[in-house]
Chains A and B, each alone.
Chain A
Amino acid sequence: MKTEEPLVSGPGLEMDTMFVNLGPQHPSTHGVLRLGLTLAGEVITKAFPDIGYLHRGTEKLMETRSYHQCVVLTDRWDYCSAMPNNLAFCLAAEKLMAVQAPPRAQALRVITCELNRIASHLIFLGTYGIDIGAFTPFLYAFREREMILDLYEALCGARLTYNYIRLGGVASDVDADWTAKCREFLEFFKPRLDEYDTLLSFNPIFLARTKGIGVIPKETAAAWGLSGPNLRGSGAAYDVRKSEPYCGYETYDFDVPLGETGSCWDRYFCRVQEMRQSVRIVEAALAALPGGDLMAKGIAKLPKPPAGEAYAHVEASRGDLGIFLVSDGGTAPYRLHVRAPCFINLAILQDILVGKKVADVIAVLGSFDIVLGEVDR
């Protein structure tokens, strides 16, 4: 018997449908997302994600800000991992200005971005556990995240909105004390990953809730334009760090973990494995940290890039984050567009939620790891 279809069907036996608002104040929507669900009994017949509750118009705001000030606004897109946002904007602007960050700055960019990926995936791990009903991993995940935030606080002065990666380089330097603390954290963190596997990844209850739920085949995932761990969970090997390396990612040795079936558990486990790879990258980058300047020469206080357009994309924690930047030669961007991974990942929900049960909605939604700050911008 298939439970995914309403039992009562046929002429004269149509079931009354019910409309349910999931969100925008539901704690499991991870922000202010509203899902309009049409239910037949317990089965979803129609779902639509409704966004726009956190729209701040940063793309438009940037048209009136100088390039240095724009970096501050980029922090507010994906606030769980703000470092790749800074990086994507700076790479696009640097392309326009035809400058390149010095090697030490590039290594620091890699280190901070990968630490941010770990911090961001730890939020996912903790909150996804809570969504499914496991509270304990959340406390452990946030303990480790706190250590990364402490590292950031010591390095760039903020815990969430860093404004660390600047045009042509990075804002501040690391000292021996910081690198020692960072290594200490990595050593502490590696065995913790095994604990997460015991607590959550291979827990039979968690497996029953997530394995085989919300399956996205490789082709569907590619057709909807998914990126990041959501795409790799379906088995498609696409990673900007490999396909179009930036900041010297080609010199680091790391694997791109892939899922098998594209179910919620595959997307989840892809992220857990990515944390291991990030640890590897940070270790390698710390070991081979070159000396030298932090800032490229010739970055003006009020930069005026030559007229033209540039596109730069990075592998952010949640996927392929792209910035399209048009300059008319003035002090502010003429137009800026963000290819936000969360926004594009969210669209597939209306397709894959149909036919699922209400209880699975949270499991599927949580596995996409959306941040509404980036969806609405």
Chain B
Amino acid sequence: MGYFKEVSSASWAFCEGLWITLRYLFKPSVTVQYPTEKLVPYERFRGLLLFDAATCIACGLCAKACPSACIALEAQTHPETKKRVPKAEWYSLDLGKCNFCGLCQEACPTKPKSVWHSLDYELAFSTRDDMVRCWKPGFPLAGRVWDPVQKAFRDPESHISVREVQARI
């Protein structure tokens, strides 16, 4: 008798569960078909770090604010007087170390921000060299990558879709 009771209660629970899933079968799916369908993150989203050499004053506050020491930069010096000029000679970011915490962006005193989190979330690197982005005056906002074999800068291989204007406060 207990056996039949068990069987009937289990099958009733089975039907109850199926009834819930059946109701969802006729509702629109919530799954995002990722590679073909891409969501745009919210305004505050902290994605890939970008840098703008044109507005940077090479104060180094971002490098001080960074908890993982992934930012390095050097200010230009005047060719004749040898004095420090408020422009970045070079700027580099190690995205392999980056925490995506946003402290560098908050520390940046310029307006608009010289270093900021864009909305890019497709960050995949095929080599470790790709993770280190470098900027020199005239480089694009996404930066370039130093190729140790060719001894030259090249564009990052796997970089997709820089939405540069968005999220730059």
For residue A161, CB closer than 8 A to chain B, the reply is yes
Q: Indicate if the CB atoms of A163 and B13 lie closer than 8 Å.
A: no
A153 is contacted by which of B9, B42, B101, B103 (Cβ under 8 Å)? B42
Q: Indicate if the CB atoms of B100 and A203 lie closer than 8 Å.
A: no
Closest to A199 in B: B17
Q: Indicate if the CB atoms of B67 and A72 lie closer than 8 Å.
A: yes
- A72, A156, A202: most-surrounded residue (chain B CB, <10 A): A72
**Chain A to chain B contacts (Cβ below 8 Å), 16 pairs:** A69-B66, A73-B67, A75-B101, A136-B21, A146-B30, A153-B44, A154-B42, A156-B44, A157-B102, A157-B117, A161-B100, A163-B103, A198-B13, A198-B20, A199-B20, A301-B107
* Contacts of A153-182 to chain B: CB distance below 8 A: 153-158, 161, 163, 172
Q: Indicate if the CB atoms of B101 and A205 lie closer than 8 Å.
A: no
**Chain B 1-19, CB within 8 Å of chain A: the 1/0 string?**
0000010011001001100
Chain B nearest CB, measured from A155 CB (Å): 7
Chain A nearest CB, measured from B113 CB (Å): 14
Hey, which chain B residues are within 8 Å of A156, CB to CB?
Answer: 44
For residue A195, CB closer than 8 A to chain B, the reply is yes
Expressed in whole angstroms, the Cα–Cα distance for A68 and B42 within the complex equals 24
For residue B46, CB closer than 8 A to chain A, the reply is yes
**Chain B 94-122, CB within 8 Å of chain A: the 1/0 string?**
00000111110001000000000100000
Expressed in whole angstroms, the Cα–Cα distance for A70 and B65 within the complex equals 11
For residue B137, CB closer than 8 A to chain A, the reply is no
Chain B nearest CB, measured from A150 CB (Å): 8
Chain B nearest CB, measured from A253 CB (Å): 31
For residue B45, CB closer than 8 A to chain A, the reply is yes
Expressed in whole angstroms, the Cα–Cα distance for A302 and B100 within the complex equals 20
Expressed in whole angstroms, the Cα–Cα distance for A153 and B102 within the complex equals 13
Hey, which chain B residues are within 8 Å of A70, CB to CB?
Answer: 67
Hey, which chain B residues are within 8 Å of A203, CB to CB?
Answer: 13, 17
* Contacts of B33-54 to chain A: CB distance below 8 A: 41-46
For residue A55, CB closer than 8 A to chain B, the reply is no
Known: A73-B67, A143-B30, A158-B46. A198 touches B17 (CB 8 A): yes
Give the interface of B toward A (CB within 8 A).
Answer: 6, 9-10, 13, 16-17, 20-21, 30, 41-46, 65-67, 99-103, 107, 117
Chain B nearest CB, measured from A300 CB (Å): 13
Hey, which chain B residues are within 8 Å of A157, CB to CB?
Answer: 42, 44-46, 102, 117
Chain B nearest CB, measured from A82 CB (Å): 11
Hey, which chain A residues are within 8 Å of B6, CB to CB?
Answer: 204
Expressed in whole angstroms, the Cα–Cα distance for A158 and B103 within the complex equals 13
For residue A337, CB closer than 8 A to chain B, the reply is no
- A136, A158, A161, A198: most-surrounded residue (chain B CB, <10 A): A158
For residue A65, CB closer than 8 A to chain B, the reply is yes
* Contacts of A191-239 to chain B: CB distance below 8 A: 195, 198-199, 202-205
Hey, which chain A residues are within 8 Å of B117, CB to CB?
Answer: 157
A-B contact count (CB 8 A): 61
Known: A68-B103, A163-B101. A205 touches B44 (CB 8 A): no
Expressed in whole angstroms, the Cα–Cα distance for A155 and B96 within the complex equals 25
Known: A73-B67, A155-B44, A163-B102. A204 touches B9 (CB 8 A): yes
Hey, which chain B residues are within 8 Å of A72, CB to CB?
Answer: 67, 99, 101, 103
Expressed in whole angstroms, the Cα–Cα distance for A224 and B103 within the complex equals 39
Closest to A151 in B: B42
Q: Indicate if the CB atoms of B45 and A153 lie closer than 8 Å.
A: yes
Expressed in whole angstroms, the Cα–Cα distance for A143 and B103 within the complex equals 31
Hey, which chain A residues are within 8 Å of B13, CB to CB?
Answer: 198, 202-205
Expressed in whole angstroms, the Cα–Cα distance for A195 and B16 within the complex equals 10
Hey, which chain A residues are within 8 Å of B100, CB to CB?
Answer: 158, 161
Instruction: A143-B30, A157-B42, A205-B10 are known; give 6 further A-B pairs, CB within 8 A.
Output: A75-B101, A153-B44, A158-B45, A199-B17, A202-B13, A204-B9
Expressed in whole angstroms, the Cα–Cα distance for A158 and B117 within the complex equals 11
Expressed in whole angstroms, the Cα–Cα distance for A153 and B117 within the complex equals 13
Expressed in whole angstroms, the Cα–Cα distance for A315 and B66 within the complex equals 29
Hey, which chain B residues are within 8 Å of A301, CB to CB?
Answer: 107
Expressed in whole angstroms, the Cα–Cα distance for A143 and B67 within the complex equals 33
Chain B nearest CB, measured from A321 CB (Å): 20
Chain A nearest CB, measured from B67 CB (Å): 4
Closest to B19 in A: A198
- A146, A157, A163: most-surrounded residue (chain B CB, <10 A): A157
Expressed in whole angstroms, the Cα–Cα distance for A154 and B45 within the complex equals 7
B44 is contacted by which of A172, A195, A198 (Cβ under 8 Å)? A172
Expressed in whole angstroms, the Cα–Cα distance for A154 and B102 within the complex equals 15
CB-based closest 5 A-B pairs: A69-B67, A157-B44, A72-B101, A154-B42, A157-B46
Hey, which chain B residues are within 8 Å of A158, CB to CB?
Answer: 45-46, 100
Expressed in whole angstroms, the Cα–Cα distance for A155 and B46 within the complex equals 11
